[in-house]
């Protein structure tokens, strides 16, 4: 496949990404031992950034360049209708929370632009890969509250009395619009998809200290500006499953900024539609070959690829009888996604209920 970027003809192919690992006081060794990431298992590794604008390409003629470099070079051939002058719009991660993360919140786009001079805030979602028995998340409030009560309880140490705790199980998915109070609990490994932002306002950090022996910075006032004080969080989303030829789809999240699904490839002639946008694909339990028109990439388990928007459809060849992957559509065509589900036999009522969860 060849596309023109500016005046230069370039060959496009599936771009395998090198992950970025980050240490964290709450991290563990699962990213190395379970998910095969390059690193020292003796370190506390918290996150593997799988698709990120600054991740480098690991294969082919563009090896060594970053995803951001490709945005500038390939433009619409890579991003389609997504603005190529801005950071790649999604960030995907594998997170190993050996201990609990801080209680925190993220701003929406308007606040990020006004207060932080950044293009966007952070809406995110989680898919639970594994967890210990009894593991739970903090998600929102147990009842409606106010900024005044929030600030008082932060000051007197009683905020935990009105936090909502939600038990988790492998396969659960959660949608967290900006403004949702949250914390990942101890003993949870998950796949996160989020807007490409690292804006986080910490409210409470369980009285821990950082690597320098000092408490980590809190952002109580800014958090107060952006928190949703209503007890409206519904818990795990209701998923939508359907089958096409050679593919089992489980739609997890279908929001304006990203559509996230888990797919299982069951035969060699399966393919997915990109709707003129790039796709982010993370192999899970086995090797997975990703083919565009005249190029391919072989993914190791838990390796990630971005396909160019100019690829009309992307073929997937499983490494076993049934190979699973996480598939992320940035800034998706939700109407096309719904029509595909209905064409595959989903009941209109079930499809409507699924998509309605995301506003």
d(CA 76, CA 80): 4
Find out whether 35 and 302 touch, Cβ atoms under 8 Å.
yes
What does the pLDDT average to over 193-211?
Answer: 89
CA distance between the termini of the chain: 37
Q: Which two tokens stand for residue 215?
A: 């408490």
d(CA 15, CA 176): 29
Query: Do the domains 240-356 and 2-226 match in fold?
Result: yes
Residue 159 per-residue DSSP state: G
Q: pLDDT over 90 for what percent of the chain? A: 86
Distance (Å) of CA 114 to CA 111, 117, 120, 169? 5, 6, 10, 38
Domain 2-226 fold: Jelly Rolls (2.60.120)
Per-residue pLDDT at 1 exceeds 70: no
pTM higher than 0.75: yes
Per-residue pLDDT at 334 exceeds 50: yes
What does the pLDDT average to over 173-199?
Answer: 97
What does the pLDDT average to over 134-158?
Answer: 95
d(CA 218, CA 159): 14
pLDDT at 232: 78
Q: Which homologous superfamily is 240-356 in?
A: Jelly Rolls (2.60.120.10)
Q: Which two tokens stand for residue 311?
A: 């690829």
Residue 205 binned pLDDT confidence (cut-offs 50, 70, 90): confident
Find out whether 126 and 174 touch, Cβ atoms under 8 Å.
yes
Per-residue pLDDT at 318 exceeds 80: yes
Query: Is 75 among the residues known to form the active site?
Result: no
Residue of 71, 202, 289, 338 with catalytic role: 202
Find out whether 21 and 39 touch, Cβ atoms under 8 Å.
yes
Residues listed for the chain: 359
For the chain, the structural domain boundaries read: 2-226, 240-356
Per-residue pLDDT at 5 exceeds 60: no
Longest dimension (CA), the chain: 63
């Amino acid at each position: 496949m060849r596309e023109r970027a500016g005046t230069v003809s370039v060959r496009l192919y599936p771009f395998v990404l090198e992950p970025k690992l980050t240490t964290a006081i709450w991290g563990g060794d699962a990213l190395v031992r379970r998910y095969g990431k390059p690193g020292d298992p003796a370190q506390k590794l918290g996150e593997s950034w799988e698709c990120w604008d600054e991740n480098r390409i690991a294969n082919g003629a563009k090896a060594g360049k970053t995803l951001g470099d490709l945005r500038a070079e390939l433009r619409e051939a890579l991003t389609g209708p997504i603005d190529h002058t801005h950071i790649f719009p999604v960030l995907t991660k594998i997170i190993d929370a050996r201990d609990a993360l801080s209680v925190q919140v993220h701003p929406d786009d308007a606040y990020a632009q006004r207060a932080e001079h950044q293009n966007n805030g952070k809406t995110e979602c989680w898919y639970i890969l594994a967890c210990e028995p009894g593991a739970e998340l903090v998600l929102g409030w147990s009842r409606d509250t106010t900024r005044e009560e929030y600030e008082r309880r932060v000051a007197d140490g009683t905020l935990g009395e009105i936090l909502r705790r939600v038990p988790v199980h492998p396969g659960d998915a959660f949608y967290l619009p900006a403004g949702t109070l949250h914390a990942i609990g101890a003993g949870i490994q998950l796949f996160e998809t989020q807007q490409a932002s690292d804006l986080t306002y910490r409210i409470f950090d369980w009285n821990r200290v950082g690597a320098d022996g000092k408490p980590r910075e809190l952002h109580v006032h800014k958090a107060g500006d952006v928190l949703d004080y209503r007890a409206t969080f519904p818990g795990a989303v209701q998923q939508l499953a359907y089958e096409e030829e050679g593919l089992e789809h489980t739609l997890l999240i279908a929001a304006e900024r990203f559509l996230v699904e888990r797919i299982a490839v069951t035969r060699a002639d399966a393919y997915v539609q990109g709707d003129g946008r790039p796709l982010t694909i993370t192999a899970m339990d086995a090797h997975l070959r990703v083919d565009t028109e005249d190029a391919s990439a072989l993914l190791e388990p838990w390796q990630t690829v971005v396909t160019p928007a100019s690829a009309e459809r992307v073929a997937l060849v499983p490494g076993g009888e049934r190979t699973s992957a996480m598939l992320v559509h940035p800034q998706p065509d939700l109407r096309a996604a719904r029509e595909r589900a209905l064409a595959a036999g989903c009941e209109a009522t079930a499809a409507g209920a699924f998509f309605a969860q995301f506003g």
